[in-house]
Every structure is written in structure tokens, then in C-alpha cells.
Homo-oligomer: A and B are copies of this chain.
Amino acid sequence: MALDAAEPCMDIAHLGHVELLTPKPEASLRFFVDVMGMTESGRQGDSVFLRGFDDYETYSLQLTASTTSGLGHAAFRARSPQALARRVAALRADGVAVTAVEGSFGHGTGWRFHDPDGHVFELYYETQWYEAPPAQRPALKNQAQRFPARGVNVRRLDHFNCLAVDVRACRKFFERNLGLRLTERIVLDSGEEAGMWLTATNKSYDFAFTKEAHGVAGRFHHVTFALDSREAILQAADVFLEHGVFIETGPHKHAVQQTFFLYVYEPGGNRVEVANAGARLVLAPDWRPITWTEAERRKGQAWGLKTIESFHTHGTPPLPGEKA
């Protein structure tokens, strides 16, 4: 049967991993292991690979030593080899340069390309499932790894957020080439898009792009890991407090997507969120995107908390002259 152009495209299965750059690799590693409760599952070159206890692949976070902070790349797993081939072909047909990358830790050939704002994305299908060593074997066989009971107990990678100079152009790029679906967005009174949330799954978003305040391309806003409950996020706030981790804002509930959020900075300078997005799912295959106006955004977050200034301005890598 032919894949009809009018049909929703499901070629992308889910967000697979995010690579963070850090100028303080050892301190960042300690943060993700000791405070976030993640597990190291490998090293290669300048990178350490980390995972939450419910990530089924070998890792979901690649931490790479660098001269600065920011996003290395974000990688999505295709639904099948054929789906991967279709998406690579679609990107190339759209005039996008796509490069095959071999030898990546934990997965097969990666197909890399830049989005219109310059961030590096990667698609892959072949992957290595996590095989827990004895000390990490879970009691229940339907779980990838034992529950760590350490730090904030990250369950899995949830999503990430990039900054972009032209949010609308980026949205259309991902809709057109990857078949991702828009669930919510912010449209300014001027008509400019200031934020957009895209999904490949029944989660209401797998990543977001929000407006870059300084006109600098390719910057990163945050990466988010899922915890088990809102109570777990409140407990996480205490854990961050005890460890002297800078809490930027939260815990609170976003009006957009209703995510229960908490934002901190890891030692390398990247913003990291822990969130609970579990109860709410987008099941409609033809979900009607929600558009938030400037007036609506001025109401603040769900329960009235005003969005703090740094949330609109701080990205990684830092701007020239900005403190890391």
C-alpha cells in the first residue's frame, strides 16, 4: 500500500540521546551520576555516556569535554530501516546535506544534518539495547536497570529545548522532513513564532524551540530528564539544594504543555530540567495544535508564577563576554 501524502508520518520513533558539551567534564560527570542518579555506561574519546534506569538503549546522554557548554547533537531513532531511509531521502530531496557517521558508541550508522538554525541533528535505527551488568540487574524483568535510589533517580531522557533565531522556519523544517507533529506553539502579536513544541510519540513533545533573544544561531536552552512523579520533583529540589546546585526556577507547572518543571544548571553551565510529564498524553493522531498568545503568556506559568528573566535570555554556549 502506498504511503499517502495526507497521512501522518510516523517514521521517527523517539528522541534517542542528547550530547552536551562541557568545559568541566569531571564535575559534570559527578553531577549526572551523584546528583541526578544516572549510570555511566561507557566512554569513547572525550565522551562519557550516561543513562537513566528506564532508558532501554545503552545511553541517553553523551557528555563531551569541550572548550564551552552547549549542545553537541541530538539524535532520534527511526521506526525502521525503511523509515530511516525515507527520512534521509526526504532531507536530501529538500536540499539538506546529510552525512553518514560510523563508529558511534551504542548505535549504528548515524545520519547527521543541520537544522536551519545550525544545531546538529542525527537519525539512526540500529541500536544497542542496554544489557545490565549484575550489579545493575533489576528485580523486574520488564525494566532495563535496577532503580538507583540515589540522588534524584532519573528515569529516562524526556526532551530538549533549543533556541532559534527563526522558530517558524525550524518548525516547518522538522514537520516537512521528519514528519514530526506540532502540539503547541507561541505566536507573538507580530505574527512571529516565539516557541513551538514537536512530538514523534504520545508524549506531548519530544523537543521544543524557543526564540533566541540575542540573534545568535545554534544555541541551546535545556535538556530534560523524566522523574517518576511530582513528589519526586519536589524531593529533587531538596537534593539540589543539599548539593549546592543552582536552582533557576521551579518547581512549578508550565501553562504550556502543563509540564511540572524544575530547572537547574549543571557544573558545565548547561541548563538541566527534571520534569514529570507522565499523566498527560497526546493520543489524537490529528491533535489540534494549541496556540498561545502574548497576552496569555503574560499571565505567567500555570499557577501565576512569573517567568524569570534568565529563562528568556540564558542559553549555552554563553554569549561572548557572558559568564559561563
Chain B residues near A142 (CB, 8 Å)?
184, 255-258, 290
Q: Report whether A238 and B147 are in contact in the complex, using a CB–CB cutoff of 8 Å.
A: yes
Instruction: List the B side residues contacting A285 at CB < 8 Å.
Output: 13-14, 77-80
Q: Given the complex, which residues of B lie within 8 Å of A3, measured CB to CB? A: 1-3
Asked if A13 contacts B284 (CB within 8 A), the reply is: yes
Q: Is the C-beta of A241 less than 8 angstroms from some C-beta in chain B?
A: yes
> In the assembled complex, which residues on chain B have CB atoms less than 8 Å from the CB atom of A152?
149
B residues in contact with A248, CB < 8 Å: 304
B2 touches A1 (CB 8 A): yes
User: Does A70 count as interface, using CB distance less than 8 angstroms?
Assistant: no
Interface 9-residue window, one of A23-31, A273-281, A313-321:
A273-281
CB contact under 8 A between A279 and B83, given known A142-B290, A146-B242, A303-B237: no
Near B by CB (< 8 A), chain A positions 27-86 give 37, 54, 56, 77-80, 82-83, 86
Flag whether A139 is at the interface (Cβ < 8 A): yes
Instruction: Give Cα A79–Cα B83 distance, bound, in whole angstroms.
Output: 17
Q: Which of A96-104, A112-120, A209-217, A225-233 forms part of the interface with chain B?
A: A225-233
Contact B80 A8 (CB under 8 A): yes
Chain B residue nearest to A37 (CB atoms) is: B149
Known contacts A6-B80, A242-B138, A279-B226, A247 near B304 by CB under 8 Å: yes
**Chain A interfacial residues counted at CB < 8 A:** 84
* Residue A141 is within 8 A (CB to CB) of chain B in the complex: yes
- CB-CB < 8 A to A13: which residues of B? 283-285
Interface membership of A302, Cβ < 8 A: yes
A149 touching B239, Cβ below 8 Å: yes
In the complex, A202 has a CB within 8 A of chain B: yes
A142-B258, A283-B201, A285-B77 are contacts. A150–B150 as well, Cβ < 8 Å?
yes
What is the 8 Å Cβ interface bit string for chain A, positions 126-156, against chain B (1 contact, 0 not)?
A: 0001000000001111110011011110011
Q: Mark A292-304, 1 if CB is under 8 A from B, else 0.
A: 1000100000111
15 more CB-based (< 8 A) A-B contacts, given A8-B79, A229-B231: A1-B3, A2-B2, A7-B83, A14-B283, A149-B242, A150-B150, A201-B281, A201-B283, A202-B202, A226-B279, A230-B234, A231-B232, A250-B303, A251-B303, A252-B252
Across chains A and B, which 5 residue pairs bring their CB atoms closest together, nearest first? A278-B278, A13-B285, A14-B283, A202-B202, A231-B231
